[in-house]
Amino acid sequence: MAKTADENFKQGEEFIQTFHREDLGYDGCIKAYDDEKIVKIYHSMREIMSYDVSGTIANILAGLIPDITKAKILDLAAGSGMIGKGLYDRGFRNVDAHDGAAAMVDYCRTTGHYKDFFTCFVGNGQTLPMEDDTYDGISCSGATVNIHLPASAQREIARVIKPGGQNIVVNAAKVEIEQYAQGLGTSKTCQHINMDKAQVRNINMSTLYHN
């Protein structure tokens, strides 16, 4: 007997939560993700759970950035590349993938949606390998959760984004939005849009189409 949508969601949520355990720590979390089989399960579970805000994020960036074909975008904590697909489908052609787990980045390589690839942890004193003011926009979805992307990573995000750039972050909950925003600590004039998943689903996208 086929599972109901609610049962599939529960199964997927239970799987995802195994990577959010406090006892893993940041290093343990990366190791847990860094497995080819786990990455494939992760990707399929995300689809089953209908956890897909990629189109919304892509549309927001497309509405804020004048030339999406040339704009340089970083998909931060890209995971298995769902946001990258949304960006590619929307017309972005200069997108880099970043993740802390090499197996996730390797999966992103197979999608054909990205230009360059970076594997490293960011935050807690660890930096991104890019130069200052590299990106016109940054996307990040579902990573500002327990033992994933620390609030201190915001300083690095602000460093690599261009003045006037766009940073679109989708968080799991409002409390994480507040913690994440507090880690910014910069006066650079770029726009940081932090939303939880419920807010993303309620956005009226008709105001965001320019291209």
Which pLDDT tens digit goes with each residue over 140-178?
A: 887 776 677 887 888 888 899 998 888 887 765 443 444
For residues 104 and 30, membership in a common domain is answered with: no
One domain for residues 90 and 146: yes
pLDDT digits (tens, 9 = 90+) for 83-129: 999 999 999 999 999 999 999 999 999 999 999 999 999 988 899 99
Which range of residues forms the domain containing residue 132? 54-207
Tokens matching residue 12: 């997927």
Q: Are residues 77 and 168 in the same domain?
A: yes
Same domain, 143 and 117: yes
Q: Is the pTM of this model over 0.85?
A: no
pLDDT digits (tens, 9 = 90+) for 31-77: 989 999 989 988 887 766 556 678 888 998 999 998 999 999 999 99
Same domain for 138 and 79, yes or no, is yes
How far is C-alpha 1 from the geometric centre of its chain's CA atoms?
35
Instruction: Indicate if 29 and 98 belong to the same structural domain.
Output: no
**Are 58 and 43 in the same domain?**
no
Neighbours of 124 (CB within 10 A): 10
Q: How many folded domains does the chain comprise?
A: 2
The pLDDT of residue 78 is above 90: yes
CATH code of residue 195 = 3.40.50.150
Q: Residue 24 has what DSSP assignment?
A: G
